[in-house]
Structure 1
Amino acid sequence: MGGAFLAAALLARLGGRIGLPTIPLFILAGILLGPHTPGIVLLSDPHDLEMLSALGLVLLLFYLGLEFHLDDLLAGGRTMALAGGTYLALNVGAGLGFGFALGWGTAEALVLAGVLGISSSAIVTKVLVDLGRIGNPETRPILGIIVVEDVFLALYLAALQPILSGADSAAAAVMDAGKAFGFLLLLALAARFGTRVIGRLINTRDDELLVISFLGAAVFVAGVSEWFGVADAIGAFMVGLMLGSTTSGERIRKLVHPLRDAFGAIFFFAFGLSIDPGDLPAVLWPVLAAVAVTLVMNVLAGVAAARVNGFGAGPAANISTTLLARGEFALILATMAAAAGLDERLSPFIAGYVLVLAVLGPLAAGRSHWLARILPGGRDDGTAGGIGTAGGIGTGSRGGDTAVVTPAGTAEAVPGRR
């Protein structure tokens, strides 16, 4: 574990000197020190870091929840559903069509629909944090799309499981989906109406007790969520929504930072451990074709989401590139497919596809202004469409500073402004 932290830190330091994002470097550290490459092997079994990796994902999504109020999401409920539904229709539909075009089988096509259709919540969160875009106006629809994806994910897994296992019980699938939705509704009601009570329960002047309390709440609810068939990450996200609106919210945001960064790095390192570079050449061309399909669909979905929210070319480019990466959900599907005895090409294909987009996504997000220049309206305003909303400047005022959206499409903190 110490070697994992040090290797991730060393590569990130070296890459930072030439402007590379940390996510692909953490993944590269896992590949180089994993069991599938020659040289030093820190861990022969990637599952040894499974719990720490899960904690990293939980903390990443918990932090994202802290940055938003439930009222902010509810206020844009209709546009959120429309943007998220459009994103899923384009990407899941394209993934299903791509799966059938490969000719690997119907069950395999259904798996590929989810692989190509669902973004990585962990990488999206890390990109938003690293690029300082939490306060950008387009971050709300990005978050909305993630929430819609997670709701879809619960249904999708419930429906896919009996297909992969060979079961034909529609009643069991409906029951699982109903259980997941019921728990999501319970979390939403607690976040909407229980904030005051939760705030009193967790409030304390002692930082040590506060850390133990919010960490316990996030991890416990994440575990219960998984038991109910809801992604553990969405459970942690909902806890973040609840606690972010309490009087302790600002202190929690500061205290969770080092935990989020440390265990987030382990999450991406563990992802790298699971990748065997030797399996990738056999599926190189399908991987490149899938990446091309995802790029096109994400641009179309980003433009559609931006128009629904009244944004210009810059925010559209930010939405498109930020949601590009695929990750933890695709790896879950790869595990399910292997257990079900599906086509043996699926696992290396998914690993290669996720690896390429995990590297390409953060790089593209940091250079989204290049895409903005070629989108409709990107040259009309002279700034590649990167300023805020239609004709305005977007700001976000969580915390003590104001995040001002620059022409490059990023957010710069302006101290003392609200």
Structure 2
Amino acid sequence: MAEEIAAAQVIQDFAIIMIVASVMALVSYRLKQPMVIGYIAAGMIIGPHTPPFSLILRPEILNLLAEIGIVLLLFVVGLEYPIAKLRSIGRKALVIAFAEAFGTFGLGIAVGQAMGMTLFDSMFIALSISVTSTVILSQVLKEFGISNTDTASLILGVTVIEDIIIVSTLAVLQSVASSGHLTLLDIAISVGLVLAFIGGALFVGSKTVPKFVDLVSKTNHFDVFLVAILGVAFGLSFIANQLGISVAAGAFFAGVLVAESKAHATARLLTSPLKDMFAALFFVSIGALMDISKLPLFIVPALIFIATSFAAKFVAVYTSARSQGLDKRISLQTAFGSSASGGELALVTAKGGADVGATSSFVLPMVGAMTIITSFLSPYVVKFGWKISERLAPERPGVNEDQDKDEPS
């Protein structure tokens, strides 16, 4: 009887989650906002912190589905970055990405410490504000008709490398936070472990996983193929977890390895619907964990961190772009574009800190609030950036003529 009641509660919870999430996603679509905002709002509506009571009876089930969502979300992200593509991105994007990620990370820690936060709170928030959403930014560039310009390619190349930096750094932070110590030796061991995992996964995995995936794809049975690639995703995530590394890192590099196979397009097609569903559950769970009653306590720090993120990213990207020989116009456009938005990985990072018990209860809802604000502002920042670059650095005849075939209106 107890098992039947529990099963009924799970089905009821799942029905409530999907119905409320679909309604709020539709509202976000009508308002021309990213779906992630609607999902977070849905979580806030059904969560335990919203009066008069929680609509969810078994919150642990939501957390379990959220973990699956993280794995599938990062796996599909990794599918977009085969090793050959990573090699072709170029030195300029690499330099800009490292300057942006670590410049923002360092300044974020300093600001957090200046506000009296704990070191781990400061570090996980700093890593969260270092994120630039590849998904949101690519959609904004596409909507403005500038996705095919050289500047857009550079910006997206930067965000690709930044995703890898963020995922790898998250793995290090979680490993260090799990030990509870922050000595140079602990950091060195954690960095070495992460690098060994990434190196081993790419070296050994690149020689085995693509061949295995292609072998399974020859059966022409999509169900078998889907089970096989999910086995790769969850298998590498499990190995990463056992090593004390983020499951997000394992899932991401599993996607990179599957992207090396000849059947990568089929893998992307089959996993995308699963990713969409479980990613939605992940964002709903983030919303459910947000205690909106604490909003007055963290809204001012959130705005400070948003300003810190924008300033650090803009300065780091602009100066590093100029140092790479890019002209003022492209440097300005790249700086504004890269500064525009946080995104999904920011929430993954914040939840990563909460999962290992390293961060305070306000960190996750604060990062959620920052994600909503920056996602909303992103289109306006990009549009303003393109226009201001036109005024400050107008295009000279014969120079970068392909940059403005499609200007945002």
Q: How does 1:115-126 map to 2 (within 5 A)?
A: 115-118=125-128, 124=133, 126=135
DSSP-derived class of the 1:20 partner: coil
Cα distance, 1:278–1:268 mapped onto 2, change above 3 Å: same
Q: What residue is the counterpart of 2:300 in the other structure? A: 285
Q: How does 1:6-405 map to 2 (within 5 A)?
A: 6-39=19-52, 41-43=54-56, 46-76=59-89, 78-104=91-117, 108-118=118-128, 124=133, 126-127=135-136, 131=140, 137=153, 138-162=155-179, 165=180, 167=181, 171=185, 174-190=188-204, 192-194=206-208, 196-203=210-217, 204-304=219-319, 307=322, 308=324, 310=326, 311-323=330-342, 326-334=346-354, 336=356, 339=357, 346-348=360-362, 350-373=363-386, 376=389, 380-381=393-394, 390-392=400-402
2:44 maps to amino acid: I
Which whole-Å CA distance do the structure 2 matches of 1:74 and 1:93 have between them?
27
DSSP-derived class of the 1:407 partner: coil
Which whole-Å CA distance do the structure 1 matches of 2:130 and 2:229 have between them?
24
Is contact 1:301-1:320 (8 Å) kept? no
DSSP-derived class of the 1:392 partner: helix
Which whole-Å CA distance do the structure 1 matches of 2:325 and 2:167 have between them?
21
**Over 6 Å off, 4+ runs:** none
What is the deviation of 1:267? 0.6
What is the deviation of 1:381? 4.5
CA RMSD of aligned residues (A): 3.3
Which whole-Å CA distance do the structure 1 matches of 2:391 and 2:176 have between them?
41
Which whole-Å CA distance do the structure 2 matches of 1:44 and 1:120 have between them?
35
More helix by proportion, 1 or 2? 2
Is contact 1:303-1:320 (8 Å) kept? no
Which whole-Å CA distance do the structure 1 matches of 2:25 and 2:66 have between them?
18
DSSP-derived class of the 2:133 partner: helix
Which whole-Å CA distance do the structure 2 matches of 1:54 and 1:181 have between them?
23
2:24 counterpart of 1:5: no
Which whole-Å CA distance do the structure 2 matches of 1:132 and 1:291 have between them?
21
Taking structure 2 as the reference length, what is the TM-score of the superposition? Answer: 0.81
Which whole-Å CA distance do the structure 2 matches of 1:168 and 1:242 have between them?
32
Is contact 1:35-1:44 (8 Å) kept? no
Task: Give the number of the structure with larger relative contact order, counting CA–CA contacts within 8 Å between residues 6 or more apart.
Answer: 2
What is the deviation of 1:149? 2.1
Which whole-Å CA distance do the structure 2 matches of 1:244 and 1:24 have between them?
29
What is the deviation of 1:33? 0.8
Which whole-Å CA distance do the structure 1 matches of 2:175 and 2:258 have between them?
29
Cα distance, 1:190–1:368 mapped onto 2, change above 3 Å: farther
Is contact 1:119-1:146 (8 Å) kept? no
Is contact 1:23-1:358 (8 Å) kept? no
2:110 maps to amino acid: G
Is contact 2:171-2:249 (8 Å) kept? no
Is contact 1:65-1:240 (8 Å) kept? yes
Cα distance, 1:211–1:316 mapped onto 2, change above 3 Å: same
Cα distance, 1:195–1:35 mapped onto 2, change above 3 Å: closer
What is the deviation of 1:243? 1.8
What is the deviation of 1:195? 5.9
Select between 353-362 and 255-264 the one with higher mean Cα deviation: 353-362
Cα distance, 1:172–1:352 mapped onto 2, change above 3 Å: closer
Q: What residue is the counterpart of 1:408 in the other structure? A: 408
Is contact 2:71-2:233 (8 Å) kept? yes
Is contact 1:312-1:390 (8 Å) kept? no
Which whole-Å CA distance do the structure 1 matches of 2:137 and 2:221 have between them?
30
Which whole-Å CA distance do the structure 2 matches of 1:380 and 1:125 have between them?
26
% identical equivalent positions: 20
Taking structure 1 as the reference length, what is the TM-score of the superposition? Answer: 0.79
Cα distance, 1:77–1:151 mapped onto 2, change above 3 Å: farther
Gaps of 5+ in 2: 1-13
DSSP-derived class of the 1:321 partner: coil
Q: What is the number of residues matched between the two proteins?
A: 380
